[in-house]
Structure 1
């Protein structure tokens, strides 16, 4: 996982700060958010900071339900899904890249679901992320 680029910051990152931190991965960040909106998998997002030592993350929602968390790092970003049992079963049945399937197999289990975390540095990761978001939204 990438370290959050906005640790100990009192305010959410401005657009320029986000672009500087993400670097070339900014294109993947923007395209992923646009895809979620276009496919009606998300209708809003908000910056959250649960603790200054963890930094700022973008909570992406559909109505009141969180679909995915995006956490900006230097040169990329972390993506976190909390998947319920039905969503985990659907993800396992989906044709996802081996790296995503492996991450799912070792993902920690929490009372609220399985915590799948992935690192994104380019747009090549987006088809799998879009499928995971669709699975999360449907289950």
Structure 2
């Protein structure tokens, strides 16, 4: 897992730190939140410190279900998703510019699915992020 820009276990990131770290990619995160809340329900977030190897990571939930983990980096972020088999199959059929599907194919398969980290730095990647969220949320509505 990528190391978060926030690696001090004694300092939980706040909104200003988060906004500054994401820089020009913060609107991409805001678009993701808007998509989820507009189509699937209220989101909640929780900062978790998983250790020096990963640092502070933002967990994003919708209706108490994990949607993604967001790893803040300098000027961009990585979104970590776990996709079950139906979502994996759907992704294999989707057109996802700039996304190497082989990474998902090669990901270790756990009971809950396959986990990938997806870098978001520009518009194309942000568009794919929204597709990943839609795929993840399909069939998850309560």
TM bucket, shorter chain = 0.7 to 0.9
Aligned match of 1:22: 22
* Greater shift in the superposed pair: 125-134 or 73-82: 125-134
Q: Work out whether residues 21 and 72 of structure 1, in 8 Å CA contact, stay in contact via their aligned partners in 2.
A: yes
Residues 23 and 98 (structure 1 numbering): CA distance in 2 closer, same or farther, change over 3 Å? closer
- TM-score normalized with structure 2 length: 0.83
SS in 2 for 1:11: coil
Aligned match of 2:117: 117
> Partners of 2:67 and 2:28 in 1: how far apart?
17
> Partners of 1:68 and 1:109 in 2: how far apart?
17
The residue correspondences of 1:1-139 to structure 2 (distance < 5 A) are: 2-40=2-40, 43-139=43-139
- CA displacement at 1:100 relative to structure 2: 4.3
- TM-score normalized with structure 1 length: 0.85
Q: Work out whether residues 47 and 57 of structure 2, in 8 Å CA contact, stay in contact via their aligned partners in 1.
A: yes
Per-residue CA shift, 1:65-93, capped at 9, x if unaligned?
11111110111101011111111111112
> Partners of 1:125 and 1:42 in 2: how far apart?
24
SS in 2 for 1:61: strand
> Partners of 1:7 and 1:64 in 2: how far apart?
26
Residues 51 and 42 (structure 1 numbering): CA distance in 2 closer, same or farther, change over 3 Å? farther
SS in 2 for 1:3: coil
Structure 2 runs not aligned, ≥5 long? none
Q: Work out whether residues 9 and 49 of structure 2, in 8 Å CA contact, stay in contact via their aligned partners in 1.
A: no
Aligned residues: 139
- CA displacement at 1:47 relative to structure 2: 1.6
Instruction: List structure 1 runs of 4+ shifted beyond 3 angstroms.
Output: none
